[in-house]
Structure 1
Amino acid sequence: MQNKIVNYEEMYHDRLVNIWYRAVCQTHTFLTEQDIQYYHNMVQNGALKEVEIWVELIGNNEPIGFVGVDGTKIEMLFVDPDYHGQGIGSRLIKHIEKLKGTNLKVDVNEQNEGAHAFYKRYGFVQTGRSELDGSGRPFPLLHLELNKQTRH
């Protein structure tokens, strides 16, 4: 059975929050447990409803990753840690590219070197930097834009 990408439905909410939590614990090693709980509360209580969400489902219709966008800006991209390195993140971005065009933007935590490397491999280039994250917390963000010339 082939994986498929579908639009968000409420029935996926708790599984997506779980994917978010497990992925953040594994990849955002610069966050304290208190920081993770702060963001977890935001994701659990509404952040998924504030953006357009697309979910990749494995053959048994179980979510294994998701991307959230606001217009052409990727606001979140998380893959179940059990499925890291299998092309899910790239497939989700390609899906968004088909829907929104190639003028995509994303902010990535400066300390999340794995995510920065992932977006760079995909063809995103840094266009700016902020000292604080979107919640005003001291986690610098790198502002990236998709550059079709460097795209693989």
Structure 2
Amino acid sequence: MAEVWLRSFAAALPAVRRAHNDDEVRNWFSHVVVPQYETWVAVGGGSVVGLLVLDKGTELEQLYLDPSWRGQGLGDRFMSLAKRQRPQGLELWTFQVNKPARRFYERHGFIAVERTDGLRNEEREPDIRYIWRP
């Protein structure tokens, strides 16, 4: 999962400063994400090619695809899964500069409800809060 996250972040957000190095990201997935969150993966060719992470509430924590798997419907399948798992609604943050992610979420019915200057996230990157309600 961490390897997909690292490749996806590098491809989608090359200008965004990462708050943690590769080993810290791997450690976070191993010791925080997998044991504490509801995690789903997509496997292709024997490797993880996408991931979805939900918290116990309504937060969609992570949705990342290996760059070579974008545009093939996998993100749509993950979003359908997330909505089935959280039929009461979903919330998420994404960076303002991530226009493809913003278009994706808006296409799936998410509405932007808050914009920040980034001072509250580790990357210090302006972000947007999105909410989806059925």
TM over 0.5: yes
> Which residue of structure 2 aligns with residue 142 of structure 1?
128
Structure 2 residue corresponding to 1:80, chosen from 60, 66, 70: 66
Q: Deviations over 1:92-112 (max 9, x none)?
A: 111121111141111110011
Provide closer, same or farther for how the CA distance between residues 77 and 134 of structure 1 changes in structure 2, counting only shifts above 3 A: farther
- Of 31, 40, 43, the residue aligned with 1:54 is 40
Seen in structure 2, the aligned counterparts of structure 1 residues 136 and 64 have a Cα distance that, compared at 3 Å, is closer
Q: Percent identity?
A: 23
Q: How many residues align?
A: 129
Match of 1:69 among 28, 38, 54: 54
Match of 1:127 in 2: 113
Q: CA deviation at 1:62?
A: 2.7
Unaligned runs of 5+ in 1: 1-15
Distance 1:30 1:147, change over 3 A: farther
Q: CA deviation at 1:81?
A: 0.7
The amino acid across from 1:94 in the alignment is: S
Return structure 1 stretches of 4+ with deviation > 6 angstroms. none
Note the C-alpha offset of 1:144: 0.4
| CA distance 1:101–1:88, change in 2 (3 Å) | same
Letter in 1 for 2:3: N
- Structure 2 residues without counterparts, runs of 5 or longer: none
Give the counterpart letter for 1:26 in structure 2: A
CA RMSD after TM alignment? 2.0
Change over 3 Å in CA distance of 1:119–1:39 after alignment to 2: farther
